[in-house]
Structure 1
Amino acid sequence: MSDTGEDQLNADNSVSTFTSALWFNAALAGGFFTGFCVLRRLRPSVYSPRSYLVEKERQPPPLPDGFLAWIWTLIRIPEKEVLRSIGLDRFMVLRFLRMGIVIFTLFTLVAIPILIPVNLINQLDSPGLNKLTMGNIKDPDRIWAHLVLAVLLSAGVVYYTFRETRQYLVLRRLHLLSPEYANSVTARMLYVPSIPERVNNIEELTKIFNRFPGGVRRIWLTRNVKDLPDIVDERQKHVTALEGAITKSIAASYKYYAKKGDPELEDRPESRIPEKLRPTHRVSKLPIPLPFVGRKVDSIDYYHEEIKKLNEKITEAQRSPESYDQLSSAYIEFNQQIAAHMAAQCVTHSREMTMAPRYIQIASTDIIWENMNVKSYERLGRRAISLVITSAIVIFWAIPVAFVQLVANIDSLSKILPFLAGLKDLPSTLVGIIQGILPAVALAILISLVPVVFRILSKNEGIPQKSMVDLSLLHKYFFFLFVDVVLVSTIVGGAIQAISEFLKNPLSIINILAESLPKASTFFITYVLLQALNGTGQAILQAVPLVLSYLLPFLSVTPRDIYTRKAKCPTINLGTLIPSHTVIFVLGLLYSTIAPLILPFVCLFFYLTYFIYLYQFLYLYEMEYESGGLAFPRAIRHVYIGLFTWQLTMIGLLAIQKALPQMIIMIITLVVSIFGLALYDKAFKPLFKYLPIQPEEDEKKAVTTTKSHQTGSSFFSTGSNILEEEDDKKILTHDDGVTTTQGEEDDQFDTNLAMSKDGLVRRKNGHVKSSKRESVGVVDAYNARAQLQKRIHDDPAHPSSSSTHDDGVSQEMAVSSARLMYEVQSYMHPSMYRRQPTVWLPEDDIGITEHEMGQLKELNIRTSNFGAKAEHAGKKGQKSRVQVDEAMYVHGGRGIPGEMPTGDPNFDVNDYVRHVVDSYALVESLALTTSM
């Protein structure tokens, strides 16, 4: 190939594209990292909230304050500590990143010294970086090097996926068998959809599922709560608005009395808030409030009345759940964990698609309540529609992606659009920036807009779990990235350079593509560079949260605002995070032998990404719900898709170059790899979902291994089951006619119960005594709650918090009642048990809060000024500010006074018991009374 002026220009542009992208992204990454190292110590609320917001047992080890000293400490944290702190979902993300590090580091060390000289020396002398690609080969014998390395890499990928999956299954089994998890309600839970009306009752479901070991413990029939959630949300909005109105009134009153010279308290009006300062607003039936539309009301008085009405309406609705229609699904808790896994795998109904598919291990915080009445056939139809829309989005989104790729090839684009030829006259550095930076940035922006739509589609498929929606999003998003980023960009990047020649000689398309396809690698090298340097730099700097941390204090008016801002960790969605990693893995495979220059930058991506997310998982992000690492096998599936695509590409390139022996060996490698995936599915797929039935000694060994992850033996933190059957009967059975009957036992396990010093009933051997229960009052969760509420409200033997710490028997009863209430309410719709929120006001020097609290209590509205104070900032019109006791609420982990945390995945039964027994009266907490 002659070294013409155009070829030299192409060479200059490809090199400048690469160098511009390299230096630009490296400079940005360096700036981001330096900024992080400086700000990390100054803004712990932005960069390390997990170090003090999560429970002590899960807090990561402290890092030194040095500018760089923390790096060595971070990378030396043992895996056991990492797993204990972040959980299995995030830990398996790190394991996947480490798999990328190992595979691509080893292959880079082997392939770069071999393939670069093979492609470069005495070959076609292609322009620029294309000299380093497989397209520069003219000697067919040199193709053997690419083939041998391709076979080695294929074998390495298959081996490592099997190896990592085996280790994942060990970790998953230990997680499922750990006392902390195995003794939870979630571990024994089965969700059954599409239940026929004839079977959809407590008696019939008990008969069906009592056949499994241990029998049924409790059943929740899902109900259509209609507009109750909206009413509960409306009440919360009114409470928040009332808090804001009173807090702003306090600030205005401080300013008002300061201007008047701060007269004595007794000279002030009874309401404490000057009449002209009382807040007002307009009320209308319009969905969006408009200025000067609607009647004008006193905000404080209006919210008082509205909250009182809503409290009465919600309490009445919560007292009569039977008034709501049943849905076609139910939650069934078994006495033994293994029973739930067996029930999920058995055929339970003779009619097809009935009472199927069943889901196990659904946490109460992981439920999508809107999808509880979606039947199996309806779910299939929704999924089909979702896939059609997803495919349409992928197809049409390819148009802007293709345009971005065209911009990355100005030389070839100018041949089709001659008016763009002037761009080639620009300085090579500027051309390099246009080709190497702008397309990659534009592509990243285009990609970021897609996951929101995919999440909506996944949720509307009728999936009952939030975590499963994330897994569905994970596949959709990868499919989008794979098609639009990998395939479309590759095809457009290679084909655009061949269009002008193809128009002259259509028969030359095969030879043209053989030469031009490897040239698309320059775009992907710059894309990987962007993700490795710029992407990770932006991720660690957290620029948006950093800016908001300075702005939000000015917008935080009430104690609730301050608490919400300071006491919660940011969350991360694995459904969008993992595909961004797997697509780089696929690009590394796809161009590993075609353009080996990409390999060092793929390695760089996995090294930096592992380091960044090791820090962020430990010190920054929390998960809203856990799936037990189920995203990992889906990520492995993406690896195999990339592996097959790369092998097919190699077969095509070998066929074009007429390397027949190499092509045959590559076809054999592809067949073996497909067989490997089939074996992978056959061997591992059932274990991803279900717990194996294994000998008792293996189970004990697994439990022993995970004991180190358990919490200490405090009063409320225990490895015992949430509540034994004896506790149920002890609390629910009384001489008022409510009795339970017990059938024959289904297994031979003995139940060894021991009364510990702290008054809790503890289990010695890890087994639950199983029995068939015929009493609907025990099995039906709604009836169990009603009985418990009646017992707590009517029986003076049940103590309030004032006596729970003086009498050991009363203490035990209080704890058992709280535990049982937590259990029976867990799988009801939250609006069916959501207590009224507390109007949390700051204490003030004027007496406004005291006066308002008195009025609220007369209306039976919960209120508190505990731990919050509105401080007077001085005279001369200075602003006051609200202070919250951070030692108690932020660092101490205490929730808003009198409220249960909502949406907190780490809020478990022990937290519930502590909250009920320590925070307020038991009767007031657990029994639905009008005098709340």
Structure 2
Amino acid sequence: MSDSRQDQLDADSSISTFTSALWFNAALGIGFFGAFLILRKTRPQTYSPRTYATPIEKRPPTISNGTVKWMWDIFQISDDELIRTMGLDRFMILKFLRMGLVTFFTFSLLAIPILFPLNIINQLDSPGLNLLTIGNIRDSNRTWAHVVLSMVLTGGLIYYTFYETRKYLVLRRAYLMSDEYRNSVMARTLYVPSIPKDVNTVDNLKRIFSKFPGGVRHVWLNRDLKDLPDQVGERQQNVCNLETVITKVILASYKHSNKENLGQTKVGGEEGGFVIPQKLRPTHRVKPGFLPFGLPFVGRKVDSIDFYNDEIARLNEEIQAKQRGIKNLHQRNSAFIEFHYQSAAQMAAQTLIHHTELQMAPRYIQIAPSDIIWENMNIKSFERLIRRMVSISVTTAIIIFWAIPVVFVQSISSLDSLSKILPFLSAVNNMGPTAVGIIQGILPAVALAILISLVPIIFTYLSKLEGIPQKSFVDLSVLHKYFFFQFIDVVLVSTIAGGILQTLPQLIENPTTIINILAENLPKASTFFITFVMLQATNSTGQAILQLVPYLLSFVMPIFSTTPRDIYKQKTTLPGISIGTLIPSHSVIFVLGIEYSTIAPLILPFVILFFCLNYFVYLYQFLYVYEMEYETGGRAFPRSIRHIYIGMFTWQLTMIGLMAVRGNEALGQLVVMIIVLCISIGALVLYDKSFKPLFKYLPMDSFEDNETDITLEPAHEHGYLNTLNMNKNADHVDNKAKVQHMEMGSEGHGTPYSTSPSTQDSSDNNGNNDAGTTTATQTAGSEYVRQRINGAFPEKTMMDGTTTTTNKEEDVADAEILYHQILSKLTDQVAKHHQHQEPDHDNAKDPVIANAVSQLYATEAYMHPAAYDTQPPVWLPQDELGITDAELAELKTRKIYALDSHATAFRNKQEKGKVEIDEQTLIVEQKGVPGSLPAPGTHLSYFQNYVRTVVDNVNFFAAMGGNGNFLATAFGG
């Protein structure tokens, strides 16, 4: 038993802290999950939006509406179905959680029955939970059990990581070789940065890269578009503003007409017509050009409707003029090269291209068009190296200096120990237990949580500043940075700083005892981390699945959704998830489980609980709630494996230190642990040598000997401007549509990457669907035809394609030239129907027009969106007063694209105006916003992910300081 009264008090405090935390977290978890079970069926847009707001081919299986049976249903979903539904990125996150569950469950069955008796029986009788740790062992011979178990766990982790990596590579190859992915333009496209000026022409790039099998199909030269992207964004904003003011006028007019009892009338001042009263005409002040934002009562006052009409018309003219003149803009030092064969892109990515160092390197493949960071298209390779060095230096500084507030919160949470060093703080202890509890527990945790919530934002900015060309790889860069931040500042600094803090008076008297003191106090830190893991397992997962903030916002946001577009976005918005902050929160717990597996085995059941609950929560969330903006093919998984090895090295070094302080009594154990560490380092070196290239590239034996060009008819055989057979090409309506579906992780039906029979071609020569079904790609292509015809040519407007003329269309590789050729042909074809007075002609089903548009779509793939964007339609609701009809007529005279389909403004039972959209057509059947190309998924919101990141940090610092004198007892102060 304990030798002194203080030891007994410490033991009671430690056990009391643990017991209180256990009951509190259990109650918290039960409360969160219980509330979720009650609310799950009441709000589909919060708890199951992916069942209706994602592309039809990606929607998850239907599950039971029962209270409990649905849990059994989701665990019965096969891996193939999971990959089809959520994509490979999210599936590999689940795989990592499975690894944690299997690893710690298996090791617990072996370690706990062995280590608990060895640590407890006839040893030191340390106070509280320290009785269960390796620090309680007096007989050094008993530590052989810990060393042998360390060898077993090390061997198991090495085998398991190699085994799961091999399985991942099989899935990755299947993903990259699937029909859907191979048919996408991103499978065959190479990004080439830092191109010398004398090489940066279409002819030179084609000459260099045509040496690879099949040759070059398209070359996109990146250009500096100056203010064009800003103007396109401004036009989009003006369209939304116009929709808002007109919709508000309609609703206000309903209310006004009810009061005045004017009856059914029309706008325009005609006999019996309804005239919008002047007081209902919306006005606003135009921001002066010299101000970055508007101010009240500053700027000229204008009629809002007339102003936005004028602005949209003006921007349409200016944007179209600039789009026609893009060929004259300054080139950037990068380009995208599309090959005819996928294997050619893989070869070109790995081959030394230019004789000068750091030129035309490093090259990137598998970049989705929507994944491009256009601001980083003009960064030279040497500049990228400098930027990366700066980013790493700043990241290191942040990690180091953020340790200062971590140490500070440790000290504030242990006022008793701190007051021994700084006597003037002893007065704080006289303020009463409540005030001291707030100061020690709540204030430091809240302040640090707010401070640390800035870290992911800073890391994202730094990663983008490095010049990374892909949004997805910015996320992967943040993943490493955020892990090291949490690993160093949460795991290492918290442990070491806490131990030093509690023993600082002794260290000042005798500095030479630091090793012995730290070795004694390191196992005692386990009590804090057990509580921390417990809190993460119950509180974080409970909050993640309950989604209380989104649930409440789902009642509030409809109040502010006025226009049809607002309503559509609000109903189809899915919460996003960032792997850059999600995975580190899992891998840090994995590291903690390894670190204390043999030092304090009591942590193992709570680590199992963490991975069990997180697997369940994210299995449900990935299936039914969360969406991702892009698909990397699971590239985050190997980085997670690296985190496991970092955790192993830290744990083995800790074990070496614990054996070293025992001197000659544990010399054999020390030598064995050093050997184990060397084996682990060798395993990581072998892992990198074996697998690293396979994470980036496809091996050549993956390709068939007779690889064929699998896209639209080859340019060198038929030419892009020829009329193509719709029956042959209906399944490849456009490459970019397939790219966009792949970005969101769509892998078809049945097996993970097979093509469903429903996606096979079933169209006749007129573009009709024989089977009575329409694939997502065909729908996208058809809608795109309508958008390009209606958006680019609203009133027989001819877009001038004067930038190009060539006699050999089949030799054209310059995507810009080809784009304007096809656009010119499309213009001519539409004009013919107008000249022959064919108002009922369905241009979307015209074979010539449909093929021209699908080819136009292919040439746009790697052009900056601002270079080809058409004006989004002004989408207004139909109304009974005729206000929308009058506005549509006015917009038509200004050649502004507008429509009023699938949306209605009507009077409800309270005689108040209300706007509704046709949800069945637009959302459930995935038609999307009328006149616009269906997006590759839905509008994403990262708010939920940011809230989760902040909550994780709050949980940590609440665990650190929220229990009063918890740290003092945990670290033996």
TM-score normalised by structure 1 residue count: 0.87
Shift of 1:636: 0.6
Select 2:924's aligned residue among 875, 888, 891. 891
Cα shift at 1:445: 5.2
Equivalent residue for 2:817, pick from 783, 799, 805: 783
For residues 505 and 757 of structure 1, do their structure 2 counterparts lie closer, same or farther at Cα, with a shift above 3 Å needed? closer
8 Å CA contact 2:52, 2:924 repeated in 1: yes
Q: Kindly state the Cα deviation for residue 272 of structure 1 after the two structures are TM-superposed.
A: 3.6
SS at match of 2:575: coil
Q: Distance in 1 between matches of 2:251 and 2:97?
A: 51
**Counterpart contact for 1:21–1:436, Cα < 8 Å:** no
1:633-657 Cα shifts (integer Å, max 9, x gaps): 0111111111111111111111011
Alignment of 1:787-866 (within 5 A): 787-795=821-829, 811-866=846-901
Query: Given the alignment, which residue of 570, 578, 583 partners 1:573?
Result: 578
Give the aligned partner of residue 168 of structure 2: 168
The whole-number CA distance in structure 1 between the counterparts of 2:553 and 2:90 is: 26
CA 1:141 to 1:371, structure 2 compared with 1: closer, same or farther past 3 Å? same
Structure 1 counterpart of 2:202? 202
Cα distance in 2 for residues equivalent to 1:309 and 1:903: 30
CA contact (8 A) 2:765 2:847 kept: yes
Aligned partners of 2:623 and 2:842: how far apart in 1?
A: 41
Q: Is residue 516 of structure 1 aligned with residue 549 of structure 2? A: no
CA pair 16-106 structure 1, distance change in 2 beyond 3 A: same
Of 889, 914, 919, 1:881 maps to 914
Quickly say closer, same or farther: Cα 1:694–1:788, change in 2 above 3 A: same
Q: CA deviation at 1:733?
A: 5.4
- 1:429-508 counterparts in 2 under 5 A? 446-508=451-513
Residue 870 of structure 1 and its aligned partner are, at CA, apart by 1.0
Q: 2:701 aligns with which of 690, 694, 710?
A: 694
Contact 2:266–2:882 (8 Å) recurs in 1: no
Q: Deviations over 1:122-159 (max 9, x none)?
A: 11111111111111111111110110111111111111
> Structure 1 residues 728, 218: CA separation in 2 closer, same or farther (over 3 Å shift)?
farther
Shift, 1:416, TM fit: 3.5
Q: Match of 1:484, as an amino acid?
A: D
Deviation of 1:413 (Å): 4.0
Matched residues in 2 for 1:838 and 1:640: separation?
Answer: 53
Distance 1:42 1:456, change over 3 A: same
Q: Is contact 2:53-2:938 (8 Å) kept?
A: no
Distance 1:264 1:697 in 2: 69
CA distance in 2, matches of 1:222, 1:726: 22
Match of residue 904 from structure 2: 869
Q: 1:148 to 1:313 in 2, by over 3 A?
A: same
Shift of 1:906: 11
- Unaligned runs of 5+ residues in structure 2 are 724-759, 770-806, 941-973
Aligned to 1:287, the other structure's residue is in SS state: coil
Q: Which whole-Å CA distance do the structure 2 matches of 1:433 and 1:12 have between them?
A: 22
Q: CA deviation at 1:354?
A: 0.1
2:251 paired with 1:262: no
Instruction: Give the 5 Å matches for 1:330-479.
Output: 330-409=335-414, 412-417=417-422, 446-479=451-484
The aligned amino acid for 2:821 is Q
The answer on 1:900 being equivalent to 2:928 is no
Deviation at 1:169, TM superposition (A): 0.1
Call closer, same or farther: CA 1:134–1:406 in 2, change over 3 Å.
farther
Residues in 2 aligned to 1:410 and 1:404: alpha-carbon distance in whole angstroms: 10
Aligned positions of 1:369-768 closer than 5 A: 369-409=374-414, 412-417=417-422, 446-658=451-663, 659-694=666-701, 721-725=710-714, 729-732=718-721, 758-759=764-765
Contact conserved, 1:623 with 1:905, CA < 8 A, in 2? Answer: no
Deviation track 1:374-424 (CA, whole Å, cap 9, x = no partner) reads 110111111111111111111121122222333555654454455666999
Query: Is the 2:14–2:128 Cα contact (8 Å) retained in structure 1?
Result: yes
Letter in 2 for 1:893: Q
Sort the Cα spacing of 1:39 and 1:662 in 2 relative to 1 into closer, same or farther, 3 A. same
Q: Deviation of residue 446 (structure 1)?
A: 4.8
Contact 1:18 1:436 in 2 (8 A): no
Conserved? CA contact 2:181–2:187, under 8 Å: yes
| CA–CA separation in structure 1 for the residues paired with 2:534 and 2:423 | 31
- Structure 2 counterpart of 1:282: 285
Moved more, 20-29 or 327-336: 20-29
Structure-2 residue corresponding to 1:913: none
Once residues 34 and 929 of structure 2 are traced to their aligned partners in structure 1, the CA distance between those partners, rounded to angstroms, is 37
Aligned-partner Cα distance in 1 for 2:159–2:840: 58
The one-letter amino acid of 1:690's match is: Y
Partners of 1:240 and 1:807 lie apart in 2 by 28
Report the residue type matching 2:932 in the other structure.
E
**Percentage identity across paired residues of the two chains:** 57
User: What corresponds to 1:704 in structure 2?
Assistant: none
CA distance in 2, matches of 1:517, 1:303: 67
**Amino acid of the residue matched to residue 539 of structure 1?**
A
Secondary structure, counterpart of 2:530 in structure 1: helix
Contact 2:718 2:810 survives alignment (8 Å): no
- TM-score if structure 2 supplies the norm length? 0.84
Counterpart residue identity of residue 282, structure 2: P
Write the letter of the residue equivalent to 1:40.
R
* Higher relative contact order, structure no. (Cα contacts within 8 Å, ≥ 6 residues apart): 2
Equivalent residues of 1:722, 1:819 under 8 A apart: no
Q: Which residue of 2 aligns with 1:47?
A: 47
Question: What CA distance in whole angstroms lies between the structure 2 residues aligned with 1:263 and 1:423?
Answer: 74
Structure 2 equivalent of residue 928 of structure 1: none
Q: 1:424 to 1:656 in 2, by over 3 A?
A: farther
Please give the alpha-carbon distance, in whole angstroms, between the structure 2 residues aligned to 1:67 and 1:420.
54
Question: C-alpha displacement at 1:443, in angstroms?
Answer: 6.2
In the alignment, residue 840 of structure 1 is paired with which amino acid? W
Counterpart AA for 2:382: Y
The residue aligned with 2:950 is none
SS at match of 2:225: coil
- Residues 812 and 183 (structure 1 numbering): CA distance in 2 closer, same or farther, change over 3 Å? same
Distance 1:904 1:284, change over 3 A: same
Deviation at 1:594, TM superposition (A): 1.1
Total equivalences in the alignment? 858
* Partner Cα distance (2:939, 2:343) in 1: 24
Counterpart of 1:712? Answer: none
Measure, in 2, the Cα distance between the counterparts of 1:166 and 1:592: 26
Paired residue type of 1:481: Q
Separation in 1 of the partners of 2:889 and 2:211?
56
Counterpart AA for 1:276? K
Paired position in structure 1 for 2:71: 71
Aligned to 1:917: none
